[in-house]
Every structure is written in C-alpha cells, then in structure tokens.
Amino acid sequence: MLGNLKSQPADKILELMQLYKDDPREQKIDLGVGVYKNAKGETPIMRAIKTAEKQVWESQTSKSYVGLAGDPAFAAALRDLVLGDSVDAGRVAAAATPGGTGAVRQGFELLRQANRDVHVWVSSPTWPNHLSILKFMGQPFTEYRYFDEATCTVDFDGMMDSLKGVKAGDAVLLHGCCHNPTGANLTLDQWKTVTEFLAKTGAVPFVDIAYQGFGDGLDEDAAGLRHLASALPETIIAASCSKNFGVYRERTGLLMAISESDADKPVTQGTLNYLNRQNYSFPPDHGARIVTQVLTDDALRADWKDELENVRLSMLGLREQLAKELRERTNSDRFDFIARHRGMFSRIGASPEEVLKMREQFGIYMVGDSRMNIAGLNSETVPLLAEAIARTCK
C-alpha cells in the first residue's frame, strides 16, 4: 500500500533555509524564515514567558487531561486580549488548538460542519497553509485581489470588486493586523467597509490573527477585527500565540466562534469539542497555561507588554532605516512603502529573477515572491540589503 504514495511538493521556505545553511559565505542574510529575531539573530524566550514557565513548573501538581476544548481560563484570557469588550463573552465559543495553523484547520472544519458546501474566499496572496489545507480538504475556494504589485499597497478597490461574487453562506478569510505576507494592512475605514459588505451579503468572516502588538499597539492592531466582530452576527477567529508571546514550539492557538446569540453558543461549543476529539482529542496545554499565567498576572502582563513594545519599535526602526537607505541609494521614494508596512514582513515587488540575483550575488535570502522578514535584519545588515536592492531592482 505505501508503495502507492506519491512525493509531495517540497516546502519552499524549508528549501530556502537549507540553501542558506549550505551557503559558505560569511556575509549572508536570512530573510526567509518567519520567526522574530533580535539584533543578535536569536529568537529569545521573552522574560515574562520564562518567569511564568517557572511558576507553572513549581505550582503544577498534575499532567492529567484538561478537557477537549482546553483550559477555559486560557480561552477567556486570549478572548479578552483579542476582542476586548467588543463582543459579549456569552456569545463566544472557543477551543484550544495546536498553534494558529491548528485553529485555521479547525475553523475550516467548523464551517464545513455548518454548511457542507461552504465556499471560501481567500486573499491573493495569502499564506501557503491556507490554500494547502483547503485543497487537502477538497473545499472549494476562490482567491480575491489584495495587493497592488506596482505600489506595494492594498488594492482595496480591486479587493472589493473581486468579492462581488460573495453570497450568503460563503466564508471570507481575512488577515488580522500584520498578518498578510505582503506587510500591507487594511485601514480601520477599510475594515468598516468590509464589515458593511459582509453584513449585506450574509457571508461569514474568518479572521486569522497572529501578530497582535507587532504593528501599532495591542489595542490599535485589534481595532478593525473588534469593529467587525461587534457589528456582525457571526465571526470565526483563529488566534496564535507563537509570535507575540514567542512560544513557537509550544503550538499554542485558539479558535473562537462568535454566535449570533447566547442561545446558539452551547451547540457551537459542543461542535468545537467534537472537532477536537476527531482530530487530536485534547489540545496541548503547556503553552496555553504559560500564556494564561502571563495574561492574568499584573506584573507578568506588564513586563510582557513592555518587551512586546520594544520588539514592535525595533521592527519599525529597521523599516525606517531601510527606507531611508534605499531613498539615498535610488534618489527616489520608490521604497518608502517599507516604512509604512507593519509587522515582520514586507513584499518589495522584486521579480523572481531579481530575488535569485540578490541571493547569488549578495547572499540575500528571501522568498521568490520577494517577501522578506524584516526581523531578520539588524542595523548593520540594513545597508547591505539596501545596496543589494538598489543594485538589483530596476
């Protein structure tokens, strides 16, 4: 039987990581892998996480199962962080998942439970796991325009035009703050326009959010999502703690499903529990318990917010420095959008040929569509990248 298996396409990011490792040059820059790095090129454990983990280790007396939906305290803490007071908690069902990708998968499964023929609308570009999961599930989907390659900004008119085919019963996958791989975000006014559109069509929004706090601040980054959730009867949200808590390997995520009323929540919650049971039974708890400890302890929460703010400001500083270096080298404002983008990523509009040239001639490793991880830079490597871009991108 196993002899009938076929080779699966290689992951482009993993291939890029291997190419970088195999490159013998001392002067090389890895902008491909999607994890936060500090100025030393390290992905550190946040101070509050380290302290909370020790506290959990010292106080925990059992490793028994928690429950199919995970610890309710974790769901409550993360719900409050993401949604604030925008939605009545009595309407929000939630289940812990193995990371944000686990939440996305369970979200698609939830939609299919509610409507076997659900059609999902996905932005172009989006993250590969979105399309990969939908294809694996055999779920029909349509891509909608999102990014203007010429200006490296959101093509909002194109986005709304390409969503004209959305109808009641469909689901529209949206990116939370800093989440689209291009680095270009919807403004609050654009979130409001999307909300009005979804209200008219009767489609359900599905928001993937993993970078809250990386853009303009914790509350500012959640403003668009909170407006949408407060104005619509139903919303699905996949939240990840990997990035803003730095617990990548702990696989800590949460799927939230906002029902139209409190009366609908029990069935929705029961369905989330059922889906967890079918996929992995009980979700991982260690990362969720650490995050809960941080969010429910005033001192730890304050320390986490302080460190997260330093991470945010560091990336903004790198963006501004790179935009300035490119302005000086190109004598134009062509790359000023880099300073306006938010989060870890930016798509700079280079062709695959130009990306390859930067890799071969300058040791700059970024994804073929020119997406780069800003957090892979430091103040000393920014000029090197700027020189490579200026000499390569025409």
Q: Taking the CB of residue 92, how many other CB atoms lie within 10 A of it?
A: 24
Residues in the chain: 394
Residue (of 275, 212, 270) closest to 241 by Cα position: 212
Residue 226 sits at the vertex; the CA angle it makes with 263 and 208, to the nearest 5 degrees, is 90
| C-alpha distances in Å from residue 28, one per residue of 46, 314, 329, 340, 358 | 27, 21, 20, 26, 10
69, 95, 191, 243: the catalytic one is 243
From 210, 288, 350, 386, active-site residue: 210
Ramachandran category for residue 370: left, alpha or beta (phi over 0 → left; psi -120 to 50 → alpha): left
Q: Which 3 state secondary structure label does DSSP give 142?
A: strand
Peptide bond into 72 cis (omega under 30): no
- Work out the number of other CB atoms within 10 angstroms of the CB of residue 177: 26
Q: Is 243 a catalytic residue?
A: yes
- Kindly state the tokens that stand for 317: 């500083």
Annotated catalytic residue within 155, 208, 303, 369: 208
Active-site entry in 121, 127, 191, 304: 127
Give the whole-angstrom CA distance, residue 57 versus residue 311: 27
Residue 305 among the catalytic residues = no
For residue 187, count other CB atoms closer than 10 A to its CB: 12
Our answer to whether residue 93 is catalytic in this structure is no
Kind and range of the H or E run holding 104: helix 99-114
3-state helix, strand, coil in the chain (%, to 5): 50, 15, 35
What is the distance between the alpha carbons of residues 240 and 96, in angstroms, rounded to a whole number?
A: 10
CA distances to 37, 81, 101, 194, 255 from 191, in Å: 30, 19, 23, 5, 21
Positions annotated as catalytic residues are: 127, 208, 210, 243
